[in-house]
Amino acid sequence: MQTIFVAFVVAVAWGSTSRAHAELINKILATVDGDPITVYQLKKFAAMNLRARQLSGSMDPAALLDALIGDKLLEKEVSDKGIVVRDEDVDHYMDTIKERNQLDDQRLKEAIEKQGLTVETYRVQLREEIQKAQLMNREIRGKVNVTPEEVQRYYEAHISEYSTPARLQVAHILFHLQPDAPADKVAAVTAKAQEVYGRLKKGADFAETAKQYSEDPTGQNGGDLGWFKQGELLDSLEKAAMTLKVGEVSEPIRTKIGLHLVKLEAREGESHQSLDELADRIKEQLYNAALEERFQKWLTEDLRKRHHVEMRD
């Protein structure tokens, strides 16, 4: 009898636990036009919806529930507006994703499965995204506009972001010299560098001289080192280049790798990209921001006035 009694107690306890769990996952958190949203639906939304999974790491449960309510409102609007997305539209969207990410069918399938989804589930979500995009086109886009004055104000307020810093184009001729080279070696290399410097002062072509004398691989390109912004060139070479006029050559400069004759090839001062160059990009940026802001207002205010949303304790 004792064994039967224990088994009965365990069965009753398990049954109570199962009922408690069922009550928990079936607990209604909110309703949208009378349709319930349960704990189970919220968990499924967080686990299976890519956007929700991206948000859930930084959002509290209340905010996640709010996102699910927003999805339900959008579903109702899609249905009310009779928006239909064809299989061909989903196929085209998937082709675009594959092309953008350079994926074939198998690699896309693997990427989807790494997200814990099936291809079928992923297609469902793509269909929903297309539906929402079409809904946004109908309800929002026509109400968003960016004027030339707004573009102008944004450009002026963010002018520092569009600056191009001053830079120098530098060439050099290098004579290798170790930091610990003996005095006689230093004297010999210095004498050679001074001799070449003298030739340049008399009008010798720098590029041809570099090809002949430079012990750096850049010598074959006339000694050209390219363009440098402040702080990108060796400090001693930068200081020398800053004091030169375009076309001038410095006297030999000692660094840890040797002696350099530095020529300033060109100089560009700080400048800014013009508004004409940036207008289209700024307009698109402002438009997208305004579109998102208007969409969120429509979703969180306008739709909630149109539908009945009730939060449950």
Are the C-beta atoms of 196 and 261 separated by less than 8 Å? yes
Architecture of domain 166-269: Roll (3.10)
Q: In angstroms, what CA-CA distances link 84 with 14, 123, 126, 197, 307?
A: 46, 14, 13, 78, 21
Q: What is the pTM of this model?
A: 0.52
What integer pLDDT is reported at residue 271 of this predicted model?
Answer: 80
Residue 232 class from Cβ within 10 Å (0-12 exposed, 13-18 middle, 19+ buried)?
exposed
What integer pLDDT is reported at residue 24 of this predicted model?
Answer: 67
Q: How many CB atoms lie within 10 A of CB 219?
A: 20
**pLDDT tens-digit map of 200-217:** 999 999 999 999 999 999
Give ∠ CA 4-11-1 in degrees, rounded to 5. 10
Residue 227 class from Cβ within 10 Å (0-12 exposed, 13-18 middle, 19+ buried)?
middle
Q: In angstroms, what CA-CA distances link 100 with 53, 93, 109, 226?
A: 22, 11, 15, 34
- Give domain limits for the chain: 166-269
**pLDDT tens-digit map of 88-117:** 999 999 999 999 999 999 999 999 998 888
* pLDDT over 50 (residue 218): yes
